[in-house]
Structure 1
Amino acid sequence: MNAKVWRVNNNATYNQWSGEQVFSNLQTAISSNLVLDGDILYLEASGISYGTATITNKALTIIGTGYFLDDNPQLQNNHTTAKINQLTFGAGSSGSSIYGIEFVNADRDIFFSVNTLSNITISRCKFHNGIDIDGGSNYSNILISKNYFGSNFTVDTTSGGTTSNLTITNNYFGGNITLRSTTVATISHNVIRGIVIIYGNPFYNNILLMTSASITQNNNSSDNVYNNIFRITQPAWLNNAGNNTFGVTEAYLFNNVNDTDEKKYILKAQGLCPECYQGYPSNVQIGMYGGNDTYILSGIPAIPAIYTLNASANAPQNGTLNVTISTRSNN
């Protein structure tokens, strides 16, 4: 409740002193003695990436502006995003959260660099090359929710490392989800174009769009795979149907397959696709827009935003400058 909000802007026009410190560099802000454990960094819109940064020795919340803002012009007045090449969760960063960031790295976007981390939230972000959780590590209480992945999500815990209480929900994955045998996770309400390797973890209310083999686990048990929709026909090992639906097309599932990158995964009405609304429990909607905490267009953070700003081009000296600002709250 005592968290302080700090501005970060790498455009010299907008980061001048205004009674409060405005940081021009993300890593400088993270490392500053002024920024304390539990504080919030607002990463403002910029055409220039904020580069590579590492969170250490404090729990921080970093909030950007969202993504795909040209596709959803009613959400932000400025359609430029807040970009990071790579973010590392380092020693002492447990409890940190990120929202509304566009990651643009050519390798991997988020890196976990220490052996023990917990209570990390990664939500409403867009990833170019996905997340790797790797190393001889012990991670717990990791939430991956409402993100747009252009590529893969991988948990690679070696040398006896474990990842527990990992929740992957209400995301879009353009690539694969790969878990390791020492991972304890729940995967639900996602749209996935790649292959999933789940090692017996609960897997339900997902839509899998691969046209070939799309799901595998070491024990070939079907008990944990239920209430999903598959484009493939039913594999032999998944002999207990578990209320799964197989062999459906995207045109049957989605309202408009030619819509924007996010909206193309909005499901048809229940009358046109009854299987889309037979999720677990109690017949909830399946996919990234289903459940109690649904995917949010453009990853707009849950803070107020200005979506329209109109001002006169000029005003007479000592006169009146007319300005109209339209704002919206976001959930």
Structure 2
Amino acid sequence: MRIVFMGTPDFAVPCLARLLDDGHEVAGVFTQPDKPRGRGYKLMPPPVKELALERGLPVYQPAKMRDGEALSILRELSPELVVVVAYGKILPKEILELPKYGCVNVHGSLLPRWRGAAPIQWSVIAGDAEGGVTTMYMAEGLDTGDMILRRATPIGPDETSDELYERLAALGAQALSETVTLIAAGRAPREPQDDAASCYAPMLSKELAEIDFSKPAREVHNLVRGMNSWPVAHTTLGGKLLKVYRTRAAQGKGAPGELLGGKSFTVACGEGAVELVEIQAEGGRRMNAVDYLRGHPVAAGTRLGESPNERE
């Protein structure tokens, strides 16, 4: 099938690779413009662009999708199907209606749960026992189109969003392969979503990543898992930033945010306690929390998340 692929981050790379490996004709690849990264703010291509160039595919990076430029390019490319995977731009109606078989999307959740920009992270933050991917026909609403295939997978109790992200990228590529085969054969199902069962997964922010130790330990643990590796859950220790990459359930009681002492970095929550396993102190490197305590002893009773002027 003649396909135009639209995608940007690592999550989309296995899908593009699978389309090529399956023998489809990828007429062109749309991806976000190059962005400055690193200390030197050098312009760097998105991961999808890197693969496309390796495979000799034409790459298009329009800044907008509604000014007619993208539509003109697509008309020239004349795809039978447009495949969208984490592209990061909303397609206007005239593009959605252009291809013979429409536009399909690979979404990182079991729709209608977690529509929106960060479905993988929010499924972890919410403590979902199951995640997955959904392929769907794209509509004008946000992730509201009719579903084609849903593929589920368990989410481990300590699994981070980064770890789930990698697994779902591979699962999404498999689901996409099956979806395109079904569309080509005229056998693709079309299941409307139940809007009443939907929930929204907004973009992550550093503000959302601040740990509230007054919440139950399980919620704190899930936040840390979901915010790994960006924007990273955080609190303060002695008024200075403390990033928390991993935690685990622990025994103990105390005031929320109170360090309970002993050899581990165990902190009381509103219900129960968590042990900080991997952290990064302000100005330091990412490291095991026990190793940090050996070199930077912290007295039992110290409160995390407390500014210096709040101390009694």
Q: Smaller-chain TM-score range?
A: under 0.3
Normalized per residue, the structure richer in helix is 2
Choose between structure 1 and 2 for higher RCO, CA contacts under 8 A separated by at least 6 residues. Answer: 2
Normalized per residue, the structure richer in strand is 1
Bigger Cα Rg: 2
TM-score normalised per structure 2:
0.26
TM-score normalised per structure 1:
0.25
